[in-house]
Amino acid sequence: MEIETIDVDEQIGEVRTILRESDKKRGILIHALQKIQEDYGYLPEDVLRKLSSKLDISLAEIYSVASFYKMFYFTPRGKKIVKVCLGTACYVRGSKKVLNTLEEEFGIKDGETTPDLALTLETVGCFGCCGLAPVTVINEEVIGEIGPKKLEGIINSLKEREEDEAE
């Protein structure tokens, strides 16, 4: 093909169309991933496979996009998400002890979920409420100034909820 015969406008037009199509798919993909996670609490592989064929995007690309965002999870999570802050203010006020105690009580480590899917334990860098250190958030509930007594209350309440749900 001679350089002079290339119709630049036509070529750019095609590229624009392609870009628009891929942008559209990517936009739909993120939204679909959010919806799947909302419904399942994580991104199950079999659902991602269906999404892959529906949107005609490879499974590898879906995983690549999803793993870019910290908000997506690839394994089931607990009904209660317990997040212990290990930021500096919380750390110096004993949040590591809070984490260690919760790990021992529920037999899971940071990032793990109990086998009955009742509880997931996670750590964060800072919740932005350092004045309440040490802070732990259980689902949306912020619990600050956690001393030994409060920690005992948190553990009892989490265990009670576990038992209630098992009944």
Nearest residue (CB) to ligand FES, 133 versus 151: 133
Least distance to ligand FES, CB of residue 82, Å: 14
Least distance to ligand FES, CB of residue 78, Å: 21
- CA angle centred on 91, ends 86 and 94, rounded to 5°: 120
Q: What is the largest CA-CA distance in the chain?
A: 81
* Stretch of 42-50, 65-73, 74-82, 122-130 lying at the interface with ligand FES (CB under 6 A): 122-130
CB count, 10 Å around CB of 29? Answer: 18
Residue 127 engages ligand FES in binding (rule: CB under 6 A): yes
State which of residues 135, 143, 154, 158 lies at the interface with ligand FES (CB under 6 A).
135
Taking CB under 6 A as the criterion, which residues in 77-116 touch ligand FES? 85, 87-90
Residue 138 engages ligand FES in binding (rule: CB under 6 A): no
Nearest residue (CB) to ligand FES, 113 versus 136: 136
Query: Which string of b and e fits 132-165 if b means at least 16 CB within 10 Å?
Result: bbbbbbbeeeebbebeeeebeebeeebeeebeee
Taking CB under 6 A as the criterion, which residues in 11-30 touch ligand FES? none
Judged by the rule CB under 6 A, the positions of this chain that interact with ligand FES are 85, 87-90, 126-127, 129-130, 133, 135
